[in-house]
Structure 1
């Protein structure tokens, strides 16, 4: 029984040492402004949509370097990113309305 406990303890310590680099450091950088994070996310979605439009145009013009698969995957990525952005916006608006309706 004691051997199993020590083996289990050593296994847990090994797991802990593996997870140590994944744990956040105590010296965390200052948090970004919410507006900066939101702006960065919107710009990322906009970049995905622009690259999709570019690929789509190149494919329609007959560029042999662009395949239909690339265009469809890029289109799905930008569509998914846009849908996620809309959902986040809806949640933020809902939270704002909830806060504004709270009695003071």
Structure 2
């Protein structure tokens, strides 16, 4: 294993945090789908794709951690930490989206008919 350059790692983490804020949950997958001509049929499809993207990040993070724990020489600690942060940020963003949806639902149900 090589030594970890903490400054480089910190810069990468900040860059990923900025990307996560610019492209909320599943944003990169939505952009890729738009570039390839695919468009989600409706809001439910978009939400489903976003949840699947968060799930994929979580599983990837788990796989990186397990590989590092096994002593796999191809996986470095910095990669494990970056993937864990990506998974955490995507989960937090999805939680915020869920909270906003619940708030919107409550507002709609409280509207007078």
Same fold? TM cut 0.5: yes
In the comparison of the two structures, how many residue pairs are matched?
A: 76
What pairs up with 1:1-104 in 2 under 5 angstroms? 32-104=41-113
- 5+ residue gaps, structure 1: 1-28
TM-score, normalising length: structure 2: 0.64
- 5+ residue gaps, structure 2: 1-37
Give me the CA root mean square deviation. Answer: 1.5
TM-score, normalising length: structure 1: 0.70
Which one has the largest radius of gyration? 1
Inter-partner Cα distance in structure 2 for 1:40 and 1:100: 26
Higher relative contact order (CA 8 A, sep 6+): 2
Contact 2:64 2:75 in 1 (8 A): yes
Offset of residue 32 of structure 1: 2.5
